[in-house]
Structure 1
Amino acid sequence: MMNETDVKGIYVPVVAPFTGNEELDLDSYRNYIGKLLAHDIQGLVINGTTGEAPTVMWEEVSELVQTTQACMQQKRIPIVIGTGTNSTVSTVKRTEMAGLLGADAVLVVTPYYSRPSQEGILEHYRRVAQVGVPIIAYEVPSRTGVRLTTDTIRKIMDLNGVIGLKDSSGGIELISELTRHDTKPILCGEDLYFHAMLSQGASGGMLASANVIPEALIHVFRLASNGNFIQAKQAFDLLVPLIRGLFQESNPSPIKWILARHGIISSDTLRLPMGPISNQLQLELGQIMPKSGY
């Protein structure tokens, strides 16, 4: 299982490839995972936002995890499984099942939709931590409808079993506050803020764009890790147009379109209510990608 020292580098939140009739396409998935493993990524995240978690059944999550493990005969890296829901009972159960599947850690998003109190959210994480599987807490207020206070996040990160935070809070204010004092590792979850968050002390990133440009993001991370922040920014600035394009429409639609266009997965099919990207974005990405070296 993971510990705090593993919460660093580039983690790739993987897509769930589907056939044209919306069934899991495990052949495409094997090809896709094999290509990701060819890069020096730190780990993979299954059943996150990029993996269309709301429309993927747990039995399918199990298939994806087992297939991923089978692809790692030559190279073993951590597997993080998204288990967070807006029910504590359900999140605890999923975390237990993730542990049985061999998860190295779980990604637990702040409970969404019901907009619970700060105290309720803290107790939620406390209960999940009792399962014993290492937790990366996930703050993403744009999707959950509730923003954690810095004090609440500190209390969550102080829990035994919480090994780090994925910060998708929408800026650098949170990480700036947290890193004023000793803190557990923080991964950037906002792709466009990757360089800025590295400069504020982030230990790496859990970035959807790493599906498309893993090597370029690894390069930025290495430069920053060696203290070369000016060079890191220059390298990152070259990636910004493509990253903006990847999030111009709902994730993971643009990423799936690019992966399918390059033959890495067989189809850009998504499950409703998610749908394919617009023709206009297809044209724009087609123009941006060559300029970004992809």
Structure 2
Amino acid sequence: MLSEQNLKGIYVPVVTPFQTNHTLDLASFESYLKHLLVHDINGLVINGTTGECPTTSWEEVTSQVEIAKIVMKQLNKTVPIVIGTGTNDTLSSLKRTERAGELGADAVLVVTPYYNKPTGKGVVAHFSKIAEAGVPVIAYEIPGRTGIRLSVDTIREILDIPQVIGLKDSSGGVELVSELSRYGSKPVLCGEDLLFHASLSQGASGGMLASANLNTATFIDVYNRYMSGEISESKKQFDELVPMIRLLFEQEPNPAPLKWILSELGWIESDSVRLPLLPISDPLKAEIKKHI
């Protein structure tokens, strides 16, 4: 299982491939993982935002975890598996976390409750209840999707829960990781792809980055060089990734652009996404083609 001591490096949130009729495409998922797992990533994230978690069933999540284990065995690799289990219903999140533990998850990713707009105390109680499952928890702050922005004090309370091993920070800036680092916080993984290098400079322990599905080796090198003190070389490499990162996130919603690229590369059969998401537009396809 993951712990706060080894929550660092590059974690890749994977897509959930669908066939053209929008059913789960496990053959594509297996092929895709074989491409991805040749790289020495630090963790694989199943059923996150990039995996279209609002539209997947637990049976589909289970199937993906089973395929991931098979591929790792074939490649003779062991990569920690993080499963997204957070919802805006505490008891549902607890049950999903218990099931994730039964599947052998090394940790779970639990998003701040969305839509309900609980108080800070309510959010802390939410995470405390989920922690009862006994599975390591990575808290996930992403106010752009949840509708609430937690205070630093509330996040520190969440991180004080023994079962919570760290935070994925998609708050939209580097202020949070900077503030937490000043207090000697548990590890913080950057979840804002464009801010990855800046977050490292403020004390982030790594990144959980959808764009690391592409140019994976470069993302790993950016991290390793930064940690070894080659700051300017690391920044130069990261700057070369920025145009593609912008195309993945700034025009149409993730993971539709990423899925289209993966299908163009032949890693997955179809770029299908489930409603209410739509496949990307022709103008964006044309723009992306200039970079792949």
Identify the TM-score tier after normalising by the shorter chain. Answer: over 0.9
Measure, in 2, the Cα distance between the counterparts of 1:16 and 1:184.
30
Shift in Å, 1:288 = 2.4
Shift in Å, 1:15 = 0.4
1:230-268 CA-to-partner distances (Å, cap 9, x unmatched) read 111111111101100011210000000000001000000
1:258 aligned onto 2:261: yes
Match of 1:192 in 2: 194
Q: Which amino acid aligns with 1:266?
A: E
1:71-98 CA-to-partner distances (Å, cap 9, x unmatched) read 1111011000000000101000100010
Measure, in 1, the Cα distance between the counterparts of 2:8 and 2:216.
14
Q: Which amino acid aligns with 1:65?
A: V
Shift in Å, 1:187 = 0.3
Measure, in 2, the Cα distance between the counterparts of 1:33 and 1:153.
33
Match of 2:290 in 1: 287
1:222 aligned onto 2:224: yes
Q: Which amino acid aligns with 2:3?
A: N
Shift in Å, 1:6 = 2.1
Report the TM-score when normalising by structure 2.
Answer: 0.98
Q: Which amino acid aligns with 1:92?
A: L
Match of 1:134 in 2: 136
Measure, in 2, the Cα distance between the counterparts of 1:225 and 1:6.
14
1:268 aligned onto 2:271: yes
Measure, in 1, the Cα distance between the counterparts of 2:187 and 2:158.
13
Measure, in 2, the Cα distance between the counterparts of 1:267 and 1:5.
38
User: Residues 45-194 of structure 1: matches in 2 within 5 Å?
Assistant: 45-73=45-73, 74-194=76-196
Shift in Å, 1:214 = 0.9
> What stretches of structure 1 of length at least 5 have no aligned partner?
290-294
1:125-167 CA-to-partner distances (Å, cap 9, x unmatched) read 0111111000000000000000000000011011111111000
User: Residues 25-64 of structure 1: matches in 2 within 5 Å?
Assistant: 25-64=25-64
Moved over 6 A (4+): none
Measure, in 1, the Cα distance between the counterparts of 2:229 and 2:186.
20
Measure, in 2, the Cα distance between the counterparts of 1:218 and 1:5.
19
Measure, in 1, the Cα distance between the counterparts of 2:230 and 2:176.
23
Q: Percent identity?
A: 59
3-state secondary structure, aligned to 2:72: coil
> What stretches of structure 2 of length at least 5 have no aligned partner?
none
Report the TM-score when normalising by structure 1.
Answer: 0.97
Match of 1:292 in 2: none
Measure, in 1, the Cα distance between the counterparts of 2:221 and 2:287.
25
